[in-house]
Amino acid sequence: MNKLYLASKAPRLSVLKFGSSVLHSTADYARIAHEIYRHVRTGEKVVAVVSALDGETDNLFALGEDVGHHADGVGIARLVRCGELKSAALLGLALERAGVPTAVLDPHEMDLRAEGDPLDANLTGLDRAKVLARFEQADVIVAPGFFGDTEVGPVTLGRGGTDLTAVMFAHWLDADRARLIKDVDGVYTDDPAKSPDALRFDQLDYQEAREVSRGLVQDKAILAAEDLGVVIEVAALGRSYETRIAKVERAPAQTREVQRLRIAVLGHGAVGAGVCDYLEAHPNRFDLNPVLVRDPSKHGANHAERAFTATPEEALAHQPDIVVELMGGTGFARCLCQSALRDGSDLVTANKAVIALDLARLDSLAHEHKRHLRYSAAVGGGTPILELLDTLTPRETVRSVEGVMNGTCNYILDALDGGALFADAVAQAQALGFAEADPSTDLDGDDAADKLAIIAHHAFGQIPDLRDIPRESLSALPPERIEAAREADLVIKQIGRCSLGPDGKVEARVELRALPRMHAFASLRNEANGFLIECSDRTRYLKGKGAGRWPTAESVFADIMDIQRARAGNAPARQDLADDPMRLKQDLAS
């Protein structure tokens, strides 16, 4: 029998540290969530170690001095660690909004122990099993940096101590990387803000790093990393290159500028509005054309700062680098997707109907015009099922994929299971922005069939004819069947399944199935999606938020950022991060 591996058993683990230099305001938590999601969608598990918001620790020290008047270190440490506790909780909320399965852990919940001077202590131990166990349910664990627990209470690790927390976690968890995310993209010969001629390093050994980093990385953290053989990466948000601090010869870096991109967004519904928010939050990276909508006056009322147009020529003016199609439908949207690639733009779309119909043609257009085509959000919302399939299929033989892949149907079935009325549940799913413009697309299984066709392409290299995918409609589900399921302690779910038939052709269907409550899909609540991928020797499980503004916008935005990195020559458009950890491991071994 196959062993069921939860996605938590993924082989790669990253420790990412976010310091105060990237935490100027609460808006930065969304940026950090993008960075974390970038790793998660390549199949990595992430421990995110976080500092306090910029200035907060200073404020807490001042507050402690004000109230305590030369209080001893123990009392001050108890106060100043609150900045990190608050920051970890906020990052947890930002990740929840983005639909990334996350657990936030305080030091006492993972037995993170320390000893020494209460304001300059060292970490001495962590309950590794307790931390790793949380990856059964979560892709990300958020931990506050800068302090640990002792018999007599919390102690802090000195200024910059979150670097030390990250290094120690990477060591104890045998992580593939300890990446310290700063407001500069690596270690320079001099402060690049003050000396424009300063050179960045690709890699440095520990001692040199201590000499030139001048506090950019905490000294104690570099010493600990050297002692424990942990490779440190120093990087900026959104970049796929870094300065690596390891037992290596120093090497200067090639300059790799991120190119500012012009983006045309087509459509401003639940997802389009979220993507525009994300793009506008990165004014140094993106210029936004007026957004294509049917009626600009309707959207302008809530978004006075944003330009709208009903004219495609205006939305597509100035040869956009990326066209982001979020209109839905297979009429005009389909034409615009094709013409975007033909006219020399990269294309990002969440339009599963267009992809399911036209993938072969769009792929060949992208190839012919040497453009990027990305559609991660078309399946799974923020759940990176296509990315996972892509990392599996070169190495493993997939036998079948089945899943709950329509958030609206799951939301409705979950509500019906709880005793809600059908019409109320549909209205609620619409109000929450999960349903398609015409919710019958969800209810009749058409949306799931489109997604299944795309999944089949990534699992088996074949895209089935949509007419060959039978589907059972939720609208035709008699209330007695729900009642009978409940009495038998079963739960009804809409499941899409595809596998290879004996003739080597893909067989796919969308059906309503009554499942025992122990089944992995039975516990999927609200708009959740979940997938079981059966490979020759094991079955993988993946779940996440399958619909809604923020998880879907997260996925679209990740595609845009990937393309930007690929255009800058910093990474291939896919799996850019997946290969890095191996490189690190090899270096460590050599």
Catalytic site positions: 451
Buried residues in 389-424 as b, exposed as e (16+ CB within 10 A): bbbbbeeeebebbbbbbbbbbbbbbbbbbeeeebee
DSSP structure class, residue 269: S
Closest approach of ligand HSE to the CB of residue 381, in Å: 5
Binding mask 262-301 for ligand HSE (x = CB under 6 A): ----------------------------------------
Q: Write a three-state SS string for 115-162.
A: ECCCCCCEEEECCHHHHHHHHHCCCEEEEECCEEEECCEEEECCCCHH
Which stretch, 81-89, 195-203, 290-298, 428-436, contacts ligand HSE (CB under 6 A)? 428-436
The Cβ of residue 533 has, within 10 Å, a number of other Cβ atoms equal to 25
Q: Write a three-state SS string for 359-394.
A: HHHHHHHHHHCCCCEECHHHCCCCCCHHHHHHHHCC
Q: Which is nearer to ligand HSE, 164 or 348 (CB)?
A: 348
User: Taking CB under 6 A as the rule, does residue 381 contact ligand HSE?
Assistant: yes
Closest approach of ligand HSE to the CB of residue 436, in Å: 5
Closest approach of ligand HSE to the CB of residue 509, in Å: 18
Which stretch, 68-76, 85-93, 403-411, 458-466, contacts ligand HSE (CB under 6 A)? 403-411
Closest approach of ligand HSE to the CB of residue 527, in Å: 7
Q: Which is nearer to ligand HSE, 434 or 550 (CB)?
A: 434
Closest approach of ligand HSE to the CB of residue 267, in Å: 13
Rounded CA separation 203/233 (Å): 9
User: Taking CB under 6 A as the rule, does residue 559 contact ligand HSE?
Assistant: no
In the list 156, 376, 408, 494, the residue contacting ligand HSE (rule: CB under 6 A) is: 408
Closest approach of ligand HSE to the CB of residue 367, in Å: 26
Rounded CA separation 346/360 (Å): 16
User: In DSSP terms, which residues pair with 49 in a beta bridge?
Assistant: 17, 143
The Cβ of residue 347 has, within 10 Å, a number of other Cβ atoms equal to 25
Closest approach of ligand HSE to the CB of residue 325, in Å: 14
Closest CA to 331 of 438, 435, 251, 259: 438
Q: Which is nearer to ligand HSE, 169 or 411 (CB)?
A: 411
Contacts 24+ apart (CB under 8 A), 460-465: 460/398, 460/498, 460/500, 460/506, 461/393, 462/505, 462/506, 463/356, 463/359, 463/360, 464/498, 464/505, 464/506, 464/508
Q: How many residues bind ligand HSE (CB under 6 A)?
A: 11
| Residues from 529 through 558 that contact ligand HSE (CB under 6 A) | 546-547
User: Taking CB under 6 A as the rule, does residue 226 contact ligand HSE?
Assistant: no
Q: Which is nearer to ligand HSE, 221 or 327 (CB)?
A: 327
Q: Which is nearer to ligand HSE, 75 or 269 (CB)?
A: 269
Burial of 183 (0-12, 13-18, 19+ CB in 10 A): middle
Closest approach of ligand HSE to the CB of residue 390, in Å: 19
What residues contact residue 369 under an 8 Å CB cut-off, 6+ apart?
A: 341, 342, 344
Q: Are 276 and 291 in contact (CB under 8 A)?
A: yes
Which stretch, 74-82, 292-300, 368-376, 406-414, contacts ligand HSE (CB under 6 A)? 406-414
Which stretch, 51-59, 81-89, 192-200, 429-437, contacts ligand HSE (CB under 6 A)? 429-437
User: Taking CB under 6 A as the rule, does residue 351 contact ligand HSE?
Assistant: no
Classify 265 as helix, strand or coil. Answer: strand
Closest CA to 20 of 181, 157, 245, 243: 181
| Helical (H) or strand (E) element with 349 | strand 346-349
In the list 384, 407, 445, 530, the residue contacting ligand HSE (rule: CB under 6 A) is: 407
What residues contact residue 502 under an 8 Å CB cut-off, 6+ apart?
A: none
Q: Which is nearer to ligand HSE, 316 or 528 (CB)?
A: 528
Regarding beta strands 322-325 and 261-266, do their DSSP bridges make them parallel or antiparallel, or are they unpaired?
parallel
| Residues from 430 through 489 that contact ligand HSE (CB under 6 A) | 434-436, 442, 447
Rounded CA separation 187/154 (Å): 32
Q: Which is nearer to ligand HSE, 339 or 473 (CB)?
A: 473
Q: Which is nearer to ligand HSE, 176 or 527 (CB)?
A: 527
Which positions lie near ligand HSE, rule CB under 6 A? 381, 406-408, 434-436, 442, 447, 546-547
